[in-house]
């Protein structure tokens, strides 16, 4: 039996698949099997999978009808023989020491899970890999805290990890959900693990694929994130994580509004739009006027009813959205909340700088030189929050 089963769900990624598979087969760690789950590809991906299976005995291929990435990962997990499982996406690739680094974490440090870092790249091949010799052990509960506070970092996603197979089998990905399936799964992994090991190596390259679900124009599938957050909130409440519960409740409120506005803007589903709007009003415990059809108008409403805590939450979340949009250069079509991140950020930050009586000449020097750069107005906002708090201020 192999020590590790590497599972790669494959769907129409013929342009990237060889790069992914070659990087896995080139590992310094050799005691593994590679399971390629062809999820009903309509391009040459399935034939490429078969080609590798014919050449290398470590490769197994499962062909199935297209039913989504969660079902593909779950099927691969059930068919796996390895003691540990690692998921890799078919448009990503890994460094040569990827598996050996993760395996060291679980074996030498007694972990049920080893988590490592990753980096993002738009290049056809980026060799910015980095191996760290440092490992840190923590309890499953501590890992959940890291999961909650890490945003989009390594504790959240399904990749760049090695997980005991029994944990993966007992906590399958939610079938029928193709968006935020990672958020729905990893905290359950950590809750079942006695020990989680963290390693700072960046040996996984997350390829920023313009054709992926997360980079396409708005889709109704993004509402799946709302359901995922509802499940997560129930878990956090039942297991006494008050700070994380508050953090994700804020995210839940903002997510409801974001999906509501996107559905309304694109006229996608009237009934779902009403459901989300009613959930949003209930979540913030306010009767929101339907005229509040943008974040900026919503912020004005919160201010008018003196609901400054909610105002602060939404301002913070919106600034983060603007920051990400400016950084990724997302179009207004893909996110109804953002039409021009540069203009919107400057206007909102300028308004709040006036409230806080902060001006460029009074910033600490490290903030002052960043002022002209578009994306870094987010750090100005963070500085304002740190200096003035968030309970009574934006």
pLDDT of residue 325: 72
Q: Express each pLDDT in 198-243 by its tens digit.
A: 999 999 999 986 655 455 567 788 888 899 999 999 999 999 999 8
Residue 19, pLDDT > 90, answer yes
pLDDT of residue 347: 76
State the chain's mean pLDDT as an integer: 84
328 falls in which pLDDT band (50, 70, 90)?
Answer: low
351 or 100: whose pLDDT is higher? 100
Does domain 4-215 fall under CATH 3.90.550.10? My reply is yes
Per-residue CA distances from 217 to 145, 208, 221, 225, 266 (Å): 32, 15, 11, 16, 11
Whole-angstrom distance, CA of residue 343 vs CA of residue 373: 13
Sign of CA dihedral 119, 80, 4, 6: negative
380 falls in which pLDDT band (50, 70, 90)?
Answer: low
pTM exceeds 0.75, yes or no: yes
Q: Express each pLDDT in 1-12 by its tens digit.
A: 899 999 999 999
pLDDT of residue 323: 66
Kindly state the average pLDDT of the residues 149-160.
72
Q: Where in the chain is the domain with CATH 3.90.550.10?
A: 4-215
Alpha helices for the chain (secondary structure H): 17-25, 45-55, 69-79, 98-108, 140-149, 165-170, 186-192, 224-238, 242-266, 270-284, 295-304, 308-328, 341-356, 365-368, 377-388
């Amino acid at each position: 039996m192999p020590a590790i089963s590497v599972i790669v769900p494959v769907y129409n990624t013929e342009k990237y698949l060889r790069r992914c598979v070659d990087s896995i087969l080139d590992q310094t760690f050799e005691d593994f099997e590679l399971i390629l789950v062809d999820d009903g590809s309509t391009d040459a991906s399935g034939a490429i999978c078969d080609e590798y299976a014919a050449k290398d005995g470590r490769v197994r291929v499962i062909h199935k009808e297209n039913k989504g990435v969660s079902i593909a990962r779950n099927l691969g997990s059930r068919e796996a023989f390895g003691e540990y499982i690692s998921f890799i996406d078919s448009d990503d690739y890994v460094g040569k020491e990827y598996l050996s680094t993760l395996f060291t974490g679980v074996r030498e440090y007694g972990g049920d899970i080893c988590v490592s870092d990753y980096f993002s790249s738009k290049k056809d091949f980026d060799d910015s890999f980095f191996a760290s010799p440092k490992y840190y052990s923590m309890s499953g509960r501590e890992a959940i805290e890291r999961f909650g506070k890490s945003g989009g970092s390594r504790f959240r996603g399904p990749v760049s990890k090695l997980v005991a197979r029994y944990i993966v089998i007992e906590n399958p990905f939610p079938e029928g959900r193709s968006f935020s399936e990672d958020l729905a799964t990893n905290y359950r992994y950590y809750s079942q693990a006695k020990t989680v090991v963290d390693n700072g190596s960046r040996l996984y390259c997350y390829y920023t694929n313009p054709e992926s679900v997360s980079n396409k124009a708005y889709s109704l599938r993004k509402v799946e994130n709302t359901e995922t957050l509802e499940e997560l909130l129930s878990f956090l409440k039942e297991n006494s994580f008050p700070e994380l519960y508050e953090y994700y409740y804020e995210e839940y409120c903002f997510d409801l509004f974001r999906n509501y506005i996107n559905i309304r803007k694109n006229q996608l589903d009237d009934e779902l739009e009403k459901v989300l709007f009613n959930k949003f009003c209930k979540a913030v415990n306010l009767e929101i006027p339907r005229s509040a059809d943008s974040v900026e108008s919503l912020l004005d409403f919160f201010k008018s009813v003196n609901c400054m805590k909610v105002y602060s939450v939404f301002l913070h979340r919106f600034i983060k959205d603007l920051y990400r949009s400016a950084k990724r250069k997302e179009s207004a079509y893909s996110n109804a909340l953002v039409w021009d991140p540069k203009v919107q950020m400057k206007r909102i930050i300028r308004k709040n700088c006036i409230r806080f009586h902060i001006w460029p000449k009074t910033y600490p020097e490290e903030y002052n030189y960043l002022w002209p750069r578009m994306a870094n107005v987010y750090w100005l906002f963070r500085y304002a929050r740190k200096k003035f708090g968030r309970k009574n201020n934006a």
